[in-house]
Every structure is written in structure tokens, then in C-alpha cells.
Structure 1
Amino acid sequence: MSANRANAPYYFVPGLSHHPIMASFGMLFVGSGAAGWVNGYAWGPWVFAFGLIWFLFVLRSWFGDAISESESGKYGKRIDVSYRWSMSWFIFSEVMFFAAFFGALFYAREFSVPWLGDLNNKLLWPDFTATWPNVGPAGLVESFNTMGPWPIPTINTALLLTSGVTLTWAHHALLQNKRAQVIQGLALTVLLGAIFMGFQVYEYMHAYADLNLKLTSGVYGSTFFMLTGFHGFHVTIGAIMLAVILVRVMKGHFTPEHHFGFEGAAWYWHFVDVVWLGLYVVVYWM
């Protein structure tokens, strides 16, 4: 740790900030626009886009202030510990978020479908077969084909596993103060994440056009798109985080002793990798 950081205040407390209230207004526009959009109002997409741009601008300014405070030596050891605990709890909340969707999938497959096919319901739906997946007992869902594990999901699995290796390589290079290798490893990781998202977009197009698999395709379609869609969103966020870290590394930020910004983004990316492995097995194979 540099002498400047070693002599940092016991616990740095920033002054009053306008960022929280500005971010709240941005999220208000995002939520209102999204609600109007899904309900068919013409102003919905525009309000949503305005709120999103506003929110992203606030985040850029907010995180820029935090980066400036860190690089000026105001963050000592106790701030570092606070950031680590904050990121840990944030990732835990994300674990619970995905656990809810995995739980919904498990409940539908192991409880709801068998109950609909038991003897008590045969009088109501005599033609219903309790198999997974299905179009439901009421005949309201169009027939569809399921998404198998080959080739795109398997390719995406290889891409994410490889990105975990390149990110770990970049981390070890940072610990050894080999900045050129850090840049190379981070750039490869971001590129692999972008390729992953490109394949997922193609997979969704294939699902809608060729398989008739949609968000409205019963509980299978809803859980498939909710799990894979939210995971893709997290991959996008993780790639953006790593791209920001890449720019910071190129500007000379971080040292072998002081680089939690890098570590926090790496934790998030490895979490995304682990979630995908669960998705790959449960959604595409089972």
C-alpha cells in the first residue's frame, strides 16, 4: 500500500451527494416507461429509453467520483474491507435471485405437472399427460419444440469457461505487476463475453422462428426465457464492468496491493460462470 493510502483517514466519508436522488429519478422513468411499454402506450419506449440514458449517465458520474477518490489515496484498508463485504452481500442477493427462478422451475417440474396428471384431475383433464415439457391441460398454449444443448449452449459453455481462465490469468498478471498481460487477459474476457451474447441472440431468434418457443409457451417457455434472459443480462453487465476495469488498467490504475475494483468485477464474472453451469445442466439437458 502506498504511503498516501497508508495515511488515509480512519474511514473516509464522502460529502453530500446528488447522485442518489438523480439515480432514483432515472429509475422512476425506467419503471414508468417499462410499464407503459408493456401495456401498449406509444410513450412507453421513449420514457424507458430516456430513463435508462439518465440512469447510465448518473452511474458514470457516481462511479467516476469513487474512482477519483480511490486514485487520490482517500481509501484506506477499512474502506477496502467495506467494499469487499458490500460486493459479497450483493452477489449473495444475486444468488437468491436466481435461486427463486431455479426453484420455480423445480416446483413446476416436480410438483405442479405431476399434480395436474394425478387421478384427482383426470375428470377435469382426461387427455393431459404429466410429462415435461408440456403445453398445459387447457389447450391454450401453442405446440413448441424444446431447446437442446447442442450446438449453441455447449459452445457458450466453452466460451464462459474459457473466459474464466483468461480472467484468472489477468488477475495473476496484475499480482505480478505485468500490466500488458492484464490488458490482454481482460480484453480476451470481454471479447468472449460479447461472443457469448451474440450466440444467445441467435439462439433466441432460432427459438422464436424455428421452434415456436416463446415466453408465452407455458411454464417451460417462461422459465426458459426468464433464466437464460436474466443470465444474459448479467453477462452483459459483467462484460461492461470488465470493460471499465480494462480502461482503468490501460490508464495505469490498480497496483498489486490495491485493486479491489478488479477483484469485485472478477468475483461477479465467476458468479455468472457458475450460474451458467447450473443453467446448462438443468435447462438444456434435464
Structure 2
Amino acid sequence: MKLNKFQLFPYHLVDPSPWPILLSFSLLNMAIGAVLYMHGFYLGGSLLTLGFVLTCFGMTLWFRDVITESTYLGHHTKQVKTGLMIGVVLFIVSEVFAFLSVFWAFFHSSLSPTIEIGGSWPPLGITPLDPFAIPLLNTFLLLSSGAFVTYGHHALIAGNRKAAIDGVLITIILAVAFTGLQYFEYSEAGFTMSDGVYGSAFYASTGLHGFHVIVGTIFILVGFLRIVNYQLTKQHHQGFEASILYWHFVDVVWLFLFVAVYFWGGA
């Protein structure tokens, strides 16, 4: 950004925006709707849906403004980009601790199973999923998607736009296939989240990861659309780099889930 006589620093002072306050009330509405829905209150599901729609609406408009500031107005200087990437890294660190809490709960119950669950893991009456069926296939899909998105990133840096589009498109297809297979796995599982500590630990860990896969897929999809629309170049693609960093984090978490929850936890 070229500095003018009124701005003697390279940082971006954001213009007043209505989206933060809208998202605050939307998230509050969604949280209240979720509590009411889980407790069976009338119109709880409708309130939850309304909150979710308003949240998505507000995020879309907010992110649109950020894209406009960076792509068309040139407000994202080197210092601004550095700050944004630090924010992404700190966000991923917070996600690491979120998954750490889930793994803590899993190992707390599995390493020393109590008499209430039969003194064994998996608990008596629970038939775990075969780790070498859908989970193994999903492992290949997710790792392959990480390789393809990296390929697309390097192609973009090299100026090969077609290869970048192909690599990112294949990544999105593999990610959608992963989510579809996990839905099929859930529908065919012989236990539910209410089936004791095993069901709670399994669905809390794999479900939290599945949610992150969906978010990461949307993240990469936005980058894909921006590449198609000539908004990202080999010098200007920090948002795409952030999505790749997030996606590799999702890949690593899945490896821990596969080994701990599916393979060792189901043995």
C-alpha cells in the first residue's frame, strides 16, 4: 500500500463495520437455540437454524469486505499480512488444545477402564468399527488431498494457473468424498453417542474432526474460486496459504485419530 501524507505507518486501520456486532448476536442466538433444541423446547430447532443462517450470512459479508480490502484496495501490506498469519497460527494452536482435551478424555477412560464399563476397552457390548475398512480408505483420501493441495500451491507459485486449479479441485473432491464416507460410517455404526463413554469419546473426537474437515473444505473452496477469478497470484495468496496450513493440521489430527481411536482404541 502506498502511504499518503495522512498515514505514516504501514498498518491497516479497519473502517467501521456492522458485521462484528451482527455475528455476536447471531452466535448468541445460535447458542440459545442449541440449548433449547437439546432440551426439547418448542421452536428450539427453528431458533438454532435461524442463528446458523445469520452466522453464515454475517461471516460471508465480513470475509467479502476483507477480500475487497486486500485484493482491490491494497490495504494488506507486508506488516498486515504478517499479523494475519500470526493470527492464523495462534488459531490453529487453540485448535490443537481443543483436540488435546478430547484425546485426554479418550485416554482417561481407555487406559484405565472402570468396573462400570466392565473393566475393558472397548466396553462390554460395544462392537468397534473395523479400522482397515472405511477409516483406512479415509486416511488415504485425506493424505492424498493434502498432497494435491500442496501441488496446487506450488503450481500457483510457479505461475502454472491450470495446474493450480486442477490440484485444488482434486483436493476439494477428495475432501467431499471423505465427509461422505464418514457420514456412511456413522449411519452404519452399531453404537451411538449415548452408548456410554466409548460412544461419547468416539463421536466427540471423530465428529469434531469431521466438523474441521467441512470448515477446511469451505476454506479451500473459497481459495479455489478466487484462483478461478484471477484474484490470487503467485505474490498475493496469503488466504490460500492459510487454508493449506489449516488443512495440514486437519491431516495430522486424523493420523492421531486413526491410530488411537480406530486402531488401538478398537483392538
The one-letter amino acid paired with 1:106 is: F
> Normalization by structure 2: what TM-score?
0.94
* 1:245-272 Cα deviation digits (max 9, x unpaired): 1111111012212211000000001100
**CA RMSD between the two structures:** 1.4
Alpha carbons of 1:182 and 1:6: their partners in 2 closer, same or farther (altered >3 Å)? farther
Is residue 2:12 matched to residue 1:12?
yes
Q: 1:30 touches 1:52 (CA, 8 Å); kept in 2?
A: yes
Q: 2:156 touches 2:164 (CA, 8 Å); kept in 1?
A: yes
Is residue 2:166 matched to residue 1:184?
yes
| Alignment match, 1:104 | 105
* 1:186-205 Cα deviation digits (max 9, x unpaired): 11111100000000000000
2:121 to 110, 129, 132: 132
Is residue 2:208 matched to residue 1:230?
yes
Q: Distance in 2 between matches of 1:14 and 1:28?
A: 24
| Alignment match, 1:90 | 91
* 1:63-97 Cα deviation digits (max 9, x unpaired): 00000000121110000100110000000000000
The one-letter amino acid paired with 2:169 is: A
Q: 1:33 touches 1:44 (CA, 8 Å); kept in 2?
A: yes
Structure 1 unaligned segments of length 5 or more: list them. 118-124, 136-142
* 1:182-231 Cα deviation digits (max 9, x unpaired): 11111111110000000000000001xxx2x1101111110000000010
Q: 1:183 touches 1:246 (CA, 8 Å); kept in 2?
A: yes
Q: Distance in 1 between matches of 2:118 and 2:104?
A: 22
Instruction: Map residues 245-260 of structure 1 onto 2, 5 A cutoff.
Output: 245-260=223-238
Q: Distance in 1 between matches of 2:142 and 2:52?
A: 27
| Alignment match, 2:185 | 203
| Alignment match, 1:285 | 263
Aligned-residue sequence identity (percent) comes to 37
Q: Distance in 2 between matches of 1:256 and 1:7?
A: 24
SS at match of 2:105: helix
The one-letter amino acid paired with 1:216 is: S
* 1:28-59 Cα deviation digits (max 9, x unpaired): 11111111111112301111111111010100
> Normalization by structure 1: what TM-score?
0.87
The structure with the larger Rg is 1
Q: 1:6 touches 1:76 (CA, 8 Å); kept in 2?
A: no
SS at match of 2:93: helix
Instruction: Map residues 1-286 of structure 1 onto 2, 5 A cutoff.
Output: 5=1, 10-71=10-71, 72-111=73-112, 113=113, 116-117=114-115, 129-135=118-124, 143-207=125-189, 211=190, 213-286=191-264
Structure 2 unaligned segments of length 5 or more: list them. none
The one-letter amino acid paired with 2:151 is: W
